Structure 1
Amino acid sequence: MPQQESRVKKSLLNARVNLIFYFLTLILSFFSRKIFLDTLGADFVGLTGTLQNLLGFLNLAELGIGSAIGYVLYKPLFEHDEGKINEIISVFGYLYRWIGFIILGAGLILACFLPLIFPKTQFEMGLIFFAYFSFLASSLIGYFANYKQTLLGADQKNYVVTAYFQTGNIVKVLIQMASAYYTGSYYLWVIIELTFGIIYSIILNWKINQVYPWLRSEVRLGKQLFKKYPEVMKYTKQLFVHRISTFVQFQTTPFLVYAFVSLQTVAYYGNYTIVTDKVSQLLNNLLSSTGAGVGNLIAEGNKEKIEHVFWELISIRFFITGILLFSLYNLLPPFITLWLGPQYLLANSVLILMLFSFFIGMTRGATDQFLYGYGLFYDTWAPVAESVIFIVVAIIGGHIWGLSGVLLGGIVSSALIIGIWKPYFLFSKGFELSVWHYWRRILYYIILTIFSFFVVDFIVSLFIDSSYSLEGWGNWILYSVVITGSFSLFYFGLLYIGTKEMRTFLNRVLKWKR
């Protein structure tokens, strides 16, 4: 029981720290984005985003070793086996050092192609190379110095990493905002970025040594100890393949937008994704804590209860995602107009495609949690197929339709693999039920969501002109409260009447409060 209580306390502390810093960084990101666009320009913001995404490809060499090590650490942490923990961290340090050298070599090779990647730009190549190598150095710090932070995550003390990293990040951005406003110097902005990466590494390692004074990782012994833990490579191979799809799409999209449209459009697209990504992060912060509970539930083996909890989580995700979709569709364009100006608006068709992709990403969470709970990782062809479909469709679509075509690549690949294959895999191999159980009920949820969307949108339009939200921040906030509140009440009522899972969820919340 004490161990269980400790886990709950740690989970709540992690969630609380995550949410506090989520809202702090959310507010700061909007102010900083505005200042950086006004003082440094959309082209520079697009350039730094593109360079960081290019370097993101090199981080694919990480393979998923961090996740595999985190999984392997769980049992020795539970048993307080300090000797074994030291050995595993030594293996991790050894593997990460080699990955760091690989990324360094690949980074030097990639640098040779920068003049070809940026042939037509207002920036001198000296600035591009300086920014590139500064970002590369910041990335390498994580492999050579910060690898021990995985121990904090596995020990449910990720709040330590979050607190130090996000505090440092907030101070860094504030200083960058001041430097951009008063000097407008591109070089100073990049120097601040690198400096804080080094400072964060020093503080983090000091804190780790304070939390785990017994931790003695011997990287030089890692090669010998690696043979003692073959499961690390087994899990690494599985997790690596499953990381490919998300990684490729996330890192490739801005580059394809630049290739088929412009650096400026990368920045404009980034203005939208900074909002949708923050919203996605909020939902994940709220629901990610259910992952461990799903694992325990599956271990219990009650199939009827397992399936019921699955649909309860689906119901919660649809409810939250439906509210976010309705709000983003109606509020994001006027928000961009008030925040940055009407010149930064993208076509409404682009917004619809982004929200379609957002919907798939947000509603997939329950399926992913149960796939992990059942240990269903061996469909390694699926993420490879998803990546190939994305690249092919995005290249063809980008050539024909520009930004909309690039986004279509992500939608098609996600719909086929995440929307169709993953539920089939879960129901056939995990639940051992016909996938028609899934499709019949998921289509019912989709119909309820679409019906709510159009009914509330029509009713709101009868009483409030959408242009009201463009008349200042006060009007936008009032408009936001009215339409979001109206949709939430109507949609919740429809789900409560129409689905057993929402009624169960409400009863669970009411019992917990009592």
Structure 2
Amino acid sequence: MSAKSGRIEKSMLNVLTGLFGQLLSFVMSFVIRTVFIKVLGEVYLGLNGLFTNILSVLNLTELGLGTAIVIELYKTVANEDEEKTNQYLQLYRKAYFFIGVLILLAGLIMMPFLDKFVNDKETIELINYRLVFLMYLFNTVFSYFFFAYREAILMANQQEYKMRIISYVFKFLEMILQIITLFIFKSIYVYLAIPLVLGCVSTIVKGVMIAKWFPYILEKPKGKLSKEEIKTTAKNVYSVALYKISGTVINSTDNIILSSYISIILTGIYSNYVILTSALNTIISKIFSSFTASLGNLNVDAGDDIEKKYSIFKTISFLNFWVYGYVSVCMFVLFDPFISIWVGEEFIMNKPTEIAIVANFLIAGLQEAIGTHRAAYGLFYKGRYRPVFSVVLNIALSILFVKIMPAEYGVVAVLLGTMISNIAVSWWFDGYLVHKYAFNMKPWKYYITYWIRFGFISLLCFAFNYVCSLIQLSGVMAFVVYFVICTLGINLLFIALFFKTDEFKYLYDNGMRLIKHH
């Protein structure tokens, strides 16, 4: 198998397993959440959400160490330098152990003050909430002390799919056992003990299997990383950390601003849309992030062959345009019938708000290919201050617009701030960064193409919405018929318009090759 075909096949396997995993995760989460509420009630659900959020913040301690290490491993794996790969893995192992200790200590220090995070103290005193938190904490830190660091070698070798398959088996087993034990024991302690035990076993199994696939990682490296190599890794960790923190801040500030300046009711109604867009965004992002390792490998293999790298970028960018275009049109047309079926017509937001939600989704989505390349080429340090400017401008503009716009357009105001800050900082700068350092060319063609594609998809949104509005249907029938119209119409239109392009031919040829191969 050639390097190119191997790279394509691994990318597709990573895409398919990642996509399957996200879908499975959403279904499992919905089922578990439903059973959890039915059996244990809202108090435990509230604690579950609170403790999960606290530990998510503590988990920011990792701050991109894994991403920074994998960037270096792309080179050592491509060069088949097992000694250097081992040196980086040992650095990763030691750093992960240290981070695990930090998270454990931080969690233990927080334990006496947990009641400060909860208003209804009388209710939570009825349960041993500190023991519950301790179980969440151990479940979080276990992997840091054992073999989680070894997963970096799979990512660098474009073989995440192997790791995911093992994870899915254990996650499915975990879900089944949690549902059964919830009905039998009605105990949150048993409920939490299952992922704690299975999580430990899963981490150990994956660690053992990775060592079997790559036995050289069990050997102790003869040398150590140089000060310069450690310094470079530290710079990348610092830069990735800024991106991670900014992403967390931007994703969490919208609801805070809405509940602070408008109303908690509007925030609740908007959260239904957030659940849908976040689910779709996560699924699509998983598709494109699956290309990261292959692109990192290509960057090393292709060397100075800029034309080859740029050709792959254009292909992924076209796929990005197609996928986000199709999903955006479906969202715009199907929001009303879906929300009506799911939670009721009274939870449908006004059309300007829905336009703002889809526009925000599309503006960020069309940048996915650039983001994937920025990560694959390790361009975090060169753009390290971009996330800071983006966060500050986003918060400032969102608060400004919320104050000057009517209350019924509160969501529009917040999203307007997010969109303008994205365009003013992230959109142009990331495009410039990738084109200059990855392709050694000006980004003007990318800028122009981006807005042509945005305009084209926007027209399709209104056109398909108008066509579907002519068909007077409601309820489930409306959703099904409109979905079929959008799915067939958008995809057939893309095929008819773009089947002669190099990007379409590349995707088609490689898709056919993979189907025949299997």
TM-score when normalising by structure 2: 0.80
- The structural deviation recorded for 1:461 is 1.1
Give the secondary structure class of the aligned counterpart of 2:85: helix
Deviates more, 1:137-146 or 1:426-435: 426-435
Equivalent residue for 1:147, pick from 146, 149, 157: 149
- The structural deviation recorded for 1:477 is 3.5
Q: Partners of 1:128 and 1:181 in 2: how far apart?
A: 21
Q: Is the 8 A contact 1:50 1:255 kept in 2?
A: no
Distance 1:204 1:410, change over 3 A: farther
Aligned match of 2:118: 118
- The structural deviation recorded for 1:83 is 3.9
Deviates more, 1:58-67 or 1:32-41: 32-41
In the alignment, structure 1 residue 242 sits paired with structure 2 residue 240? no
In the alignment, structure 1 residue 355 sits paired with structure 2 residue 358? yes
In the alignment, structure 1 residue 65 sits paired with structure 2 residue 65? yes
- The structural deviation recorded for 1:7 is 3.9
Q: Is the 8 A contact 1:54 1:251 kept in 2?
A: no
- The structural deviation recorded for 1:89 is 2.0
Q: Partners of 1:330 and 1:180 in 2: how far apart?
A: 39
Give the secondary structure class of the aligned counterpart of 2:501: helix
Aligned match of 1:327: 330
In the alignment, structure 1 residue 368 sits paired with structure 2 residue 335? no
Task: Encode CA deviations 1:394-417: one digit per residue, 9 max, x unaligned.
Answer: 667789967776656644443332
Q: Partners of 1:194 and 1:399 in 2: how far apart?
A: 46
- The structural deviation recorded for 1:387 is 2.7
Distance 1:392 1:49, change over 3 A: farther
Aligned match of 1:177: 179
Distance 1:163 1:319, change over 3 A: same
- The structural deviation recorded for 1:446 is 1.8
Q: Partners of 2:251 and 2:180 in 1: how far apart?
A: 30
Q: Is the 8 A contact 1:104 1:140 kept in 2?
A: yes
Deviates more, 1:437-446 or 1:291-300: 291-300
Aligned match of 2:139: 138
Give the secondary structure class of the aligned counterpart of 1:463: coil
In the alignment, structure 1 residue 77 sits paired with structure 2 residue 73? no
- The structural deviation recorded for 1:280 is 2.5
Aligned match of 1:379: 383
Q: Is the 8 A contact 1:96 1:144 kept in 2?
A: yes
Aligned match of 2:102: 102
Task: Give the gaps of 5 or more residues in structure 2.
Answer: 514-518
Distance 1:152 1:271, change over 3 A: farther
- The structural deviation recorded for 1:365 is 1.6
Distance 1:36 1:327, change over 3 A: farther
Task: Encode CA deviations 1:332-352: one digit per residue, 9 max, x unaligned.
Answer: 45445545x429946356655
1:280 alignment partner AA: N
Size of the alignment, in residue pairs? 501
Q: Partners of 1:4 and 1:307 in 2: how far apart?
A: 15
Q: Partners of 1:403 and 1:110 in 2: how far apart?
A: 34
- The structural deviation recorded for 1:254 is 6.6
In the alignment, structure 1 residue 164 sits paired with structure 2 residue 172? no
Give the secondary structure class of the aligned counterpart of 2:488: helix
Q: Partners of 1:279 and 1:259 in 2: how far apart?
A: 27
- Percent identical residues: 25
1:385 alignment partner AA: F
Q: Partners of 2:361 and 2:26 in 1: how far apart?
A: 18
Task: Encode CA deviations 1:360-405: one digit per residue, 9 max, x unaligned.
Answer: 3321122224445665431211112223334455667789967776
Give the secondary structure class of the aligned counterpart of 1:156: coil
Q: Partners of 2:455 and 2:303 in 1: how far apart?
A: 33
Q: Is the 8 A contact 1:62 1:99 kept in 2?
A: yes
1:462 alignment partner AA: L
Matches within 5 A, 1:466-481: 467-469=474-476, 476-481=479-484
Q: CA RMSD in A?
A: 4.1
Q: Partners of 2:417 and 2:43 in 1: how far apart?
A: 25
Q: Is the 8 A contact 1:46 1:264 kept in 2?
A: no
Q: Partners of 1:136 and 1:390 in 2: how far apart?
A: 32
Task: Encode CA deviations 1:426-458: one digit per residue, 9 max, x unaligned.
Answer: 456665665544443322222211111111211
Q: Is the 8 A contact 1:93 1:217 kept in 2?
A: no
Equivalent residue for 1:202, pick from 190, 198, 204: 204
Deviates more, 1:101-110 or 1:35-44: 35-44
Aligned match of 1:419: 427
1:383 alignment partner AA: P
Q: Is the 8 A contact 1:449 1:491 kept in 2?
A: no
Q: Is the 8 A contact 1:149 1:208 kept in 2?
A: yes
Q: Partners of 2:348 and 2:495 in 1: how far apart?
A: 31
Q: Partners of 1:254 and 1:133 in 2: how far apart?
A: 28
- The structural deviation recorded for 1:165 is 1.6
2:238 alignment partner AA: K
In the alignment, structure 1 residue 88 sits paired with structure 2 residue 88? yes
Q: Is the 8 A contact 1:47 1:263 kept in 2?
A: no
Task: Encode CA deviations 1:239-260: one digit per residue, 9 max, x unaligned.
Answer: 3233332233346667777878
In the alignment, structure 1 residue 450 sits paired with structure 2 residue 458? yes
Distance 1:235 1:189, change over 3 A: same
Task: Give the gaps of 5 or more residues in structure 1.
Answer: none
Distance 1:333 1:115, change over 3 A: farther
Aligned match of 2:234: 233
Aligned match of 2:516: none
Aligned match of 1:463: 471
2:505 alignment partner AA: N
Q: Partners of 1:63 and 1:468 in 2: how far apart?
A: 45
In the alignment, structure 1 residue 316 sits paired with structure 2 residue 314? no
Q: Partners of 1:202 and 1:307 in 2: how far apart?
A: 40
- The structural deviation recorded for 1:422 is 2.2
TM-score when normalising by structure 1: 0.80
Deviates more, 1:298-307 or 1:182-191: 298-307
Aligned match of 1:189: 191
Distance 1:36 1:96, change over 3 A: same
Q: Is the 8 A contact 2:329 2:457 kept in 1?
A: no
Q: Is the 8 A contact 1:25 1:170 kept in 2?
A: no
Distance 1:205 1:128, change over 3 A: same
Aligned match of 2:392: 388
Q: Is the 8 A contact 1:318 1:445 kept in 2?
A: yes
Equivalent residue for 2:488, pick from 485, 489, 500: 485
Aligned match of 1:282: 283
Q: Partners of 1:67 and 1:236 in 2: how far apart?
A: 8
